[in-house]
Chain A
Amino acid sequence: MIEIKDLTFGYKRRNTLFDHLSIQIPMGNIYGLLGKNGAGKTTLLKQITGLLYPTTGECLIFGKPAQERLPEVLSDMYLIPEEFQLPAIRMNEFSRLHAPFYPKFDQDLLKNYLDEFQVNGNVKLTSLSYGQKKKFLIAFGLATRTRILLLDEPTNGLDIPSKSQFRKIIASSMDEDRSILISTHQVRDLASLIDHIVIVENGKIIFHQSIFDISSKIAFMQTKDMTNLDVLYAEDIFGGKAVIYRKNSEETEIDLELLFNGIITDADKINNEFKN
């Protein structure tokens, strides 16, 4: 369980990034953390892993402060950052050196994931492309079998087949004792994967709903005619409008990009739909 209570943080004293931010992330879900550039998605992941300390408030992981960086917390949580620099050693050696720190690490699982991603484990990490390094880190992170997995822009640098492999692997690795938090811009890549959406804007969580609740309260459509629709948000697209409207009866597919734009434009209007 990740519990952020009243967290305030800024890189500079006068420039507050998070202003009394609070959120609870229980186990058993895949959370999509969305936000504009500079909204603080990466910073939030760093707060959760104890790489940054809150100015005020607290960030608790399994009830313990993240900033303590306690081994029992860190051994049950793995971060795959967007930008990283890996040591100049072979993948097998990286795994041999780091796996012992994670009590539930599964070597066979790592091999399976690397096979799935078609990455050869006997190659020096520094000789790999960014995408291959990322695949290795994703495979390693999943093989740690930690209860919390944090991924920062995981699909950046992955080719098209790898993105679908990634979705498949993440979905297969999910169980009720695990929580995965994915920070991303690439909402289309992960739309089928995430079951909760969190949107960060101006230092606050402006939207936090499950996919189930979203699909039961609002609907999405591309149309030329908006009459008879209770429109919550609309934007111009080629040949018509993309619309978020109050759901009447029919089930529609969630358009995450449209939802994100709608919430950034008028969060209150869409959030009102979830109040009942």
Chain B
Amino acid sequence: MSAPLLSVRDLRVTYRSETGDVPAVRGVSFDVAHGETLGLAGESGCGKSTIAGALLRVLPRGTEVTGEVLLDGEDVLEMKPGRLRAVRWTEMSIVFQGALHALNPVQRVGDQIAEAIEAHRTAEDPAARVAELLETVGMPARRAGDYPHQLSGGQRQRVLIALALACNPRILIADEPTTALDVMVQAQVLELLERLQKELALSMIFITHDLSTLSYVCQRTAVMYAGRVIEEGLADEVFARPRHPYTAALAAAFPLIGDHTHRMKPSGLGGDPPDPRAIPSGCPFHPRCAVAVAECTSADIELWPAGEGRQAACIHVLDGTPR
């Protein structure tokens, strides 16, 4: 296997706040190969969106970020501001969640895309490039003259994707790109992202709490809990045969229709995701875990190999008992 396009090593992000430090990401490592889509799954507060911010270095000033984010071997965290500006958008760009707020309401959408192109001088004729981009995301070029409020939710999300593609990035970070959308529109956007990924040979990091979506769009999935990756592997495998009890609970939240083990038997986790200020000792998941044993409260838990291309941070992986 060739060197990965993006390699994240022991990334740690700590927010500073009035009431103390908040460790949002606590040592995360992963690779994204050329043309690969990696899914980052987890719930609110698990640190997945913080990772997106750290990769592009758009976190609030004063936030402590350590570790390495190697883009083609070059550390993004060490880049000078000029180099960083060049890399943002031309190498790595992001599609934000909440298509409504990410666009300037008083600027035509075409101008917003053109602005990104002009800032990076990546095309001779910005207007032509805007038209081309809109066609690429499945919108008529004439919509460039529209204001965001004239577009539907799905169209705005398409504009945001076009905006992210404006400077031919190699990596696209999609942060909950379909969360606020309707089922059918969600399917349209997923189809679009899948097509773009193939046509443009994009690498993608797809962030969501919906494991079933990941099994559909990603090759590999990393599941996060309390600022760490707790399971990693092929997306289908992780969703279908989770090794970590948390992944299992997350997967069960999106039951397979027709699967009678879930019919009239909803299952979820007791308790709530932990407060990043007070992460439980040992395995951070142990207070909510149905299969926790005594050691879980104190043992050092790390990602252990759990089969072909699989890792899981659960003590039960070691003794071989299926969860």
Chains A and B come from one and the same complex: no
